[in-house]
Amino acid sequence: MLRLGSPSSETREMDLDDIFHSRLKLMIIMAKAYMNGYPLGEHRRRAMLENARHVESESIDLDSTVGGLQSQPHSCVDYDHVFYQRVKLLAVMVKAVAKGFPMGEHRIAAMHENLDSICQTLMFNSQPEDLAFLKVA
Amino acid sequence: MQAPVSEAKILIIDDDFFVRDFFVHTVEFGTNRHVTTFESGFHAWQCIEKAPDNADVVIADANIPDISGMELLERVKKQFPRIVFIIMSSNPAFEKTAFQMGADAFLSKPFDVNDLFAIIHRFILAPPPPSAHETVPF
Protein backbone atom coordinates (compact mmCIF):
# COMPACT_ATOMS: atom_id res chain seq x y z
CA MET A 1 0.00 0.00 0.00
CA LEU A 2 1.29 3.39 -1.01
CA ARG A 3 1.37 6.07 1.70
CA LEU A 4 1.07 9.73 0.76
CA GLY A 5 0.35 13.04 2.49
CA SER A 6 1.43 14.35 5.86
CA PRO A 7 3.54 12.34 8.32
CA SER A 8 1.48 10.61 11.03
CA SER A 9 2.56 13.15 13.63
CA GLU A 10 1.23 16.08 11.59
CA THR A 11 -2.15 14.81 10.46
CA ARG A 12 -5.18 17.08 10.92
CA GLU A 13 -8.27 18.19 9.05
CA MET A 14 -7.57 20.51 6.12
CA ASP A 15 -8.61 24.12 6.73
CA LEU A 16 -9.26 26.94 4.27
CA ASP A 17 -5.62 28.05 4.40
CA ASP A 18 -4.47 24.58 3.33
CA ILE A 19 -6.96 24.59 0.47
CA PHE A 20 -5.96 28.10 -0.63
CA HIS A 21 -2.23 27.30 -0.63
CA SER A 22 -2.84 24.08 -2.56
CA ARG A 23 -5.12 25.81 -5.06
CA LEU A 24 -2.56 28.59 -5.59
CA LYS A 25 0.12 25.97 -6.20
CA LEU A 26 -2.22 24.15 -8.60
CA MET A 27 -2.89 27.40 -10.47
CA ILE A 28 0.84 28.03 -10.86
CA ILE A 29 1.26 24.49 -12.21
CA MET A 30 -1.66 25.06 -14.60
CA ALA A 31 -0.15 28.32 -15.87
CA LYS A 32 3.30 26.75 -16.29
CA ALA A 33 1.76 23.78 -18.12
CA TYR A 34 0.14 26.20 -20.57
CA MET A 35 3.35 28.21 -20.97
CA ASN A 36 5.22 24.99 -21.76
CA GLY A 37 2.73 24.14 -24.49
CA TYR A 38 1.02 21.25 -22.73
CA PRO A 39 -2.23 20.32 -24.47
CA LEU A 40 -5.54 21.51 -23.03
CA GLY A 41 -8.61 19.33 -23.20
CA GLU A 42 -12.19 20.12 -22.27
CA HIS A 43 -11.90 18.93 -18.68
CA ARG A 44 -8.54 20.62 -18.18
CA ARG A 45 -9.97 23.93 -19.34
CA ARG A 46 -12.89 23.60 -16.96
CA ALA A 47 -10.60 22.68 -14.05
CA MET A 48 -8.39 25.71 -14.81
CA LEU A 49 -11.40 28.02 -14.93
CA GLU A 50 -12.89 26.76 -11.67
CA ASN A 51 -9.57 26.74 -9.82
CA ALA A 52 -8.74 30.27 -10.95
CA ARG A 53 -12.19 31.46 -9.82
CA HIS A 54 -11.60 29.94 -6.37
CA VAL A 55 -8.16 31.50 -5.98
CA GLU A 56 -9.38 34.89 -7.19
CA SER A 57 -12.32 34.93 -4.78
CA GLU A 58 -10.34 33.63 -1.82
CA SER A 59 -7.25 35.82 -2.11
CA ILE A 60 -8.25 38.57 0.27
CA ASP A 61 -6.17 41.72 0.28
CA LEU A 62 -5.53 42.08 4.01
CA ASP A 63 -4.41 45.67 3.56
CA SER A 64 -7.92 46.78 2.72
CA THR A 65 -9.89 44.42 4.95
CA VAL A 66 -8.05 44.13 8.27
CA GLY A 67 -7.46 47.31 10.22
CA GLY A 68 -4.91 45.64 12.50
CA LEU A 69 -2.48 45.33 9.65
CA GLN A 70 -2.13 49.08 9.44
CA SER A 71 0.28 48.88 12.40
CA GLN A 72 2.72 46.86 10.29
CA PRO A 73 5.58 48.60 8.50
CA HIS A 74 4.10 50.31 5.48
CA SER A 75 6.44 48.65 2.99
CA CYS A 76 5.40 45.20 4.25
CA VAL A 77 1.72 45.98 3.71
CA ASP A 78 2.46 47.34 0.22
CA TYR A 79 4.44 44.22 -0.55
CA ASP A 80 1.55 41.96 0.48
CA HIS A 81 -0.88 44.10 -1.48
CA VAL A 82 1.21 43.78 -4.65
CA PHE A 83 1.52 40.03 -4.13
CA TYR A 84 -2.24 39.62 -3.86
CA GLN A 85 -2.80 41.76 -6.93
CA ARG A 86 -0.32 39.58 -8.81
CA VAL A 87 -2.15 36.43 -7.68
CA LYS A 88 -5.46 37.91 -8.81
CA LEU A 89 -3.90 38.94 -12.12
CA LEU A 90 -2.61 35.40 -12.64
CA ALA A 91 -6.12 34.08 -11.93
CA VAL A 92 -7.51 36.41 -14.63
CA MET A 93 -4.79 35.27 -17.04
CA VAL A 94 -5.49 31.58 -16.37
CA LYS A 95 -9.21 32.16 -16.85
CA ALA A 96 -8.47 33.85 -20.19
CA VAL A 97 -6.39 30.85 -21.28
CA ALA A 98 -9.11 28.43 -20.17
CA LYS A 99 -11.75 30.38 -22.10
CA GLY A 100 -9.62 30.22 -25.23
CA PHE A 101 -9.08 33.96 -25.52
CA PRO A 102 -6.30 34.89 -27.98
CA MET A 103 -2.89 35.13 -26.30
CA GLY A 104 -0.49 37.38 -28.18
CA GLU A 105 3.22 37.78 -27.69
CA HIS A 106 2.89 40.53 -25.09
CA ARG A 107 0.20 38.72 -23.10
CA ILE A 108 2.39 35.62 -22.97
CA ALA A 109 5.36 37.72 -21.84
CA ALA A 110 3.26 39.43 -19.15
CA MET A 111 2.01 36.08 -17.92
CA HIS A 112 5.57 34.78 -17.79
CA GLU A 113 6.78 37.76 -15.76
CA ASN A 114 3.82 37.63 -13.40
CA LEU A 115 4.32 33.92 -12.84
CA ASP A 116 8.04 34.39 -12.16
CA SER A 117 7.33 37.18 -9.70
CA ILE A 118 4.80 35.10 -7.75
CA CYS A 119 7.11 32.08 -7.67
CA GLN A 120 10.02 34.21 -6.46
CA THR A 121 7.87 35.65 -3.68
CA LEU A 122 6.76 32.20 -2.56
CA MET A 123 10.35 30.95 -2.61
CA PHE A 124 11.58 33.88 -0.54
CA ASN A 125 8.79 33.28 1.97
CA SER A 126 9.16 29.56 2.34
CA GLN A 127 9.02 29.53 6.16
CA PRO A 128 5.51 28.96 7.55
CA GLU A 129 5.62 32.14 9.63
CA ASP A 130 6.58 34.14 6.55
CA LEU A 131 3.58 32.78 4.67
CA ALA A 132 1.14 34.17 7.23
CA PHE A 133 0.14 36.91 4.80
CA LEU A 134 -1.47 34.22 2.65
CA LYS A 135 -4.29 33.91 5.20
CA VAL A 136 -7.72 33.65 3.69
CA ALA A 137 -11.08 34.74 5.06
CA MET B 1 -1.51 17.94 -30.17
CA GLN B 2 -4.32 16.17 -28.30
CA ALA B 3 -4.62 16.38 -24.54
CA PRO B 4 -3.96 13.04 -22.85
CA VAL B 5 -7.18 11.37 -21.82
CA SER B 6 -7.24 8.68 -19.18
CA GLU B 7 -9.92 6.05 -19.68
CA ALA B 8 -10.18 5.38 -15.96
CA LYS B 9 -13.51 6.14 -14.31
CA ILE B 10 -12.86 8.00 -11.10
CA LEU B 11 -15.09 8.44 -8.04
CA ILE B 12 -14.29 10.87 -5.22
CA ILE B 13 -16.27 10.72 -1.99
CA ASP B 14 -15.94 13.33 0.74
CA ASP B 15 -18.57 15.33 2.59
CA ASP B 16 -16.15 18.28 2.93
CA PHE B 17 -17.03 20.41 -0.10
CA PHE B 18 -13.75 22.38 -0.12
CA VAL B 19 -11.51 19.31 -0.04
CA ARG B 20 -13.67 17.41 -2.54
CA ASP B 21 -13.82 20.30 -4.98
CA PHE B 22 -10.05 20.86 -4.82
CA PHE B 23 -9.47 17.15 -5.35
CA VAL B 24 -11.80 17.15 -8.38
CA HIS B 25 -10.10 20.13 -10.06
CA THR B 26 -6.64 18.64 -9.55
CA VAL B 27 -7.63 15.22 -10.89
CA GLU B 28 -9.63 16.66 -13.81
CA PHE B 29 -6.67 18.85 -14.75
CA GLY B 30 -4.21 15.99 -14.35
CA THR B 31 -6.23 13.46 -16.33
CA ASN B 32 -8.43 15.60 -18.60
CA ARG B 33 -11.22 13.30 -17.48
CA HIS B 34 -14.59 13.81 -15.82
CA VAL B 35 -14.67 12.88 -12.15
CA THR B 36 -17.83 11.66 -10.39
CA THR B 37 -18.35 12.85 -6.82
CA PHE B 38 -20.47 11.80 -3.86
CA GLU B 39 -21.03 13.27 -0.41
CA SER B 40 -22.01 10.01 1.28
CA GLY B 41 -20.79 6.43 1.26
CA PHE B 42 -24.33 5.19 0.74
CA HIS B 43 -24.82 6.97 -2.57
CA ALA B 44 -21.34 5.95 -3.74
CA TRP B 45 -22.04 2.31 -2.89
CA GLN B 46 -25.38 2.45 -4.73
CA CYS B 47 -23.54 3.70 -7.83
CA ILE B 48 -20.75 1.11 -7.61
CA GLU B 49 -23.06 -1.83 -6.89
CA LYS B 50 -25.41 -0.90 -9.72
CA ALA B 51 -22.69 -0.34 -12.33
CA PRO B 52 -19.27 -1.58 -11.14
CA ASP B 53 -17.81 -1.00 -14.61
CA ASN B 54 -18.29 2.72 -14.04
CA ALA B 55 -15.68 2.74 -11.27
CA ASP B 56 -11.99 2.04 -11.80
CA VAL B 57 -10.52 4.24 -9.07
CA VAL B 58 -12.37 5.17 -5.85
CA ILE B 59 -10.96 7.80 -3.53
CA ALA B 60 -12.90 8.14 -0.27
CA ASP B 61 -12.49 9.92 3.03
CA ALA B 62 -12.62 7.56 6.01
CA ASN B 63 -15.29 9.67 7.71
CA ILE B 64 -18.23 10.07 5.37
CA PRO B 65 -21.94 9.84 6.21
CA ASP B 66 -24.18 6.74 6.09
CA ILE B 67 -21.52 4.21 5.07
CA SER B 68 -18.03 5.10 6.27
CA GLY B 69 -15.06 5.12 3.94
CA MET B 70 -13.62 2.06 5.71
CA GLU B 71 -16.85 0.11 5.33
CA LEU B 72 -17.05 1.15 1.68
CA LEU B 73 -13.47 -0.06 1.21
CA GLU B 74 -14.37 -3.43 2.74
CA ARG B 75 -17.46 -3.84 0.53
CA VAL B 76 -15.68 -2.78 -2.67
CA LYS B 77 -12.62 -4.96 -2.15
CA LYS B 78 -14.82 -7.94 -1.25
CA GLN B 79 -17.10 -7.70 -4.29
CA PHE B 80 -15.03 -5.83 -6.88
CA PRO B 81 -11.33 -6.38 -6.08
CA ARG B 82 -10.21 -4.98 -9.45
CA ILE B 83 -11.28 -1.48 -8.34
CA VAL B 84 -8.40 0.64 -7.01
CA PHE B 85 -9.39 2.07 -3.62
CA ILE B 86 -7.62 4.97 -1.93
CA ILE B 87 -8.51 6.03 1.60
CA MET B 88 -7.82 9.55 2.85
CA SER B 89 -8.04 10.60 6.47
CA SER B 90 -6.82 13.01 9.10
CA ASN B 91 -6.65 10.12 11.57
CA PRO B 92 -3.47 8.02 11.31
CA ALA B 93 -5.16 5.21 13.23
CA PHE B 94 -7.02 4.27 10.04
CA GLU B 95 -3.81 3.56 8.15
CA LYS B 96 -3.18 0.07 9.50
CA THR B 97 -6.83 -0.94 9.10
CA ALA B 98 -6.89 0.39 5.55
CA PHE B 99 -3.83 -1.70 4.73
CA GLN B 100 -5.40 -4.83 6.24
CA MET B 101 -8.58 -4.25 4.25
CA GLY B 102 -6.66 -4.08 0.98
CA ALA B 103 -6.52 -0.34 0.29
CA ASP B 104 -4.16 0.54 -2.54
CA ALA B 105 -3.07 3.81 -0.94
CA PHE B 106 -3.52 5.84 2.21
CA LEU B 107 -3.61 9.63 1.81
CA SER B 108 -2.97 11.42 5.06
CA LYS B 109 -4.48 14.91 5.49
CA PRO B 110 -3.43 17.60 4.99
CA PHE B 111 -2.09 16.65 1.57
CA ASP B 112 -0.45 18.61 -1.20
CA VAL B 113 -0.96 18.95 -4.95
CA ASN B 114 2.10 16.74 -5.46
CA ASP B 115 0.45 13.91 -3.50
CA LEU B 116 -2.56 14.07 -5.82
CA PHE B 117 -0.32 14.11 -8.88
CA ALA B 118 1.44 11.02 -7.49
CA ILE B 119 -1.94 9.28 -7.24
CA ILE B 120 -2.83 10.31 -10.79
CA HIS B 121 0.51 9.08 -12.12
CA ARG B 122 0.49 5.81 -10.22
CA PHE B 123 -3.15 4.70 -10.31
CA ILE B 124 -4.96 6.60 -13.06
CA LEU B 125 -2.58 7.26 -15.95
CA ALA B 126 -0.52 4.13 -15.33
CA PRO B 127 -2.76 1.64 -13.50
CA PRO B 128 -0.92 -1.11 -11.58
CA PRO B 129 -1.11 -4.72 -12.76
CA PRO B 130 -3.89 -6.87 -11.22
CA SER B 131 -3.11 -7.69 -7.59
CA ALA B 132 -2.75 -11.18 -6.19
CA HIS B 133 -6.19 -11.36 -4.61
CA GLU B 134 -7.82 -10.79 -7.99
CA THR B 135 -6.33 -13.92 -9.45
CA VAL B 136 -7.02 -16.37 -6.62
CA PRO B 137 -9.30 -19.07 -8.11
CA PHE B 138 -12.08 -20.66 -6.09
Domain assignment of residue B3, yes or no: no
Dist CA B36 CA B38 (whole Å): 7
Q: What is the pLDDT of residues B76-135, one digit of tens each?
A: 999 999 999 999 999 999 999 999 999 999 999 999 898 999 999 899 887 666 554 443
Domain that holds residue B18: 10-127
Tens-digit pLDDT profile for residues B53-93: 999 999 999 999 999 999 999 999 999 999 999 999 999 99
Strands (E), chain B: 10-13, 35-38, 57-61, 84-89, 105-108
The mean of the pLDDT values for chain A is 80
**Residue B57 and residue B124 in contact, taking contact as beta carbons nearer than 8 Å:** yes
Asked if residue B19 has pLDDT above 60, the reply is yes
Q: Give the CB-side neighbour count of residue B104, counting CA atoms within 13 A.
A: 26
In a domain? residue B39: yes
Question: Distance (Å, rounded) from C-alpha B77 to C-alpha B54?
Answer: 15
Under 8 Å between Cβ of B86 and B57: yes
Give the confidence band of A120 by pLDDT, cuts at 50, 70, 90.
confident
User: How many domains does chain B fold into?
Assistant: 1
Interchain contact A25–B (C-beta under 8 A): yes
What are residue B13's phi and psi, to 5 degrees? -125, 115
Name the amino acid, one letter, at A112.
Answer: H
Residue A73 has a pLDDT of 53
Measured in degrees and rounded to the nearest 5, phi and psi for residue A102 equal -65, 135
Q: What Cα–Cα distance (Å) separates residue B118 from each residue in A3, B22, B102?
A: 10, 15, 19
Q: Do A6 and B110 touch (CB under 8 A)?
A: yes
| Most confident of the ranges A58-62, A81-85, B99-103 | B99-103
Please measure the distance between the N-terminal and C-terminal CA atoms of chain B and give it in whole angstroms.
Answer: 47
Asked whether residue B118 is domain-assigned, the answer is yes
CATH number reported for the structural domain that contains residue B80 in this entry? 3.40.50.2300
pLDDT attached to residue A132:
43
Which residues of chain B have a Cβ shorter than 8 Å from any chain A Cβ?
A: 1-5, 16, 18-19, 21-22, 24-26, 28-29, 31-34, 88-92, 95, 98-99, 103-113, 115, 118-119, 122
Collect all residues of chain B within an 8 Å Cβ-Cβ radius of residue A50.
21, 25
CA distance B74 to B92: 18
Return d(Cα A40, Cα B94) in angstroms, integer.
37
